[in-house]
Amino acid sequence: MNIYIGNLNFNLVEDELKEIFEEYGEVTSVRIITDKFSGRSKGFGFVEMANASEANVAIENLNGADIGGRNIKVSVAQEKQERSERPDRGDRRSFNRRRD
């Protein structure tokens, strides 16, 4: 089961996040999302757990928990939508662009 974790401390590293979730079961992967230019954490990430029932217990116990001075938000991760499925965002033209 893929789990979303939000409101992470920006200094938290993947190994620390893995340790926290391993208390509830087998963790198969951990990924903290970083800014592609600065490399700095964006404050959220994903943990994949092998067993759904263990993942649900982790979600229940860790949602709202204080980790590194921040109350993290933990939930089942939603599938990423394809761009074509996203709602129309209207006219994306720049205000500085010339319009003929």
CATH number at residue 56: 3.30.70.330
Answer whether residue 94 is part of any domain: no
Residue 22 belongs to domain spanning: 2-77
Q: Which residues contact 74 (CB under 8 A, 6 or more apart)?
A: 3, 4, 5, 6, 58, 59, 62, 63, 64, 65
Answer whether residue 29 is part of any domain: yes
* Residue found under tokens 């391993």: 22
Q: Distance between CA atoms of 4 and 70, rounded to whole angstroms?
A: 15
Our count of domains for the chain comes to 1
Answer whether residue 69 is part of any domain: yes
Answer whether residue 91 is part of any domain: no
**Is the pLDDT assigned to residue 7 strictly greater than 70?**
yes
The confidence band for 81, taking pLDDT boundaries of 50, 70 and 90, is: confident
- Dihedral angle of Cα 59, 42, 67, 11, to the nearest 10 degrees: 150
Answer whether residue 49 is part of any domain: yes
Answer whether residue 82 is part of any domain: no
Q: What is the pTM of this model?
A: 0.79
The confidence band for 100, taking pLDDT boundaries of 50, 70 and 90, is: low
Percent of the chain with pLDDT over 90: 78
Answer whether residue 99 is part of any domain: no
DSSP reduced 3-state for 5: strand
Answer whether residue 87 is part of any domain: no
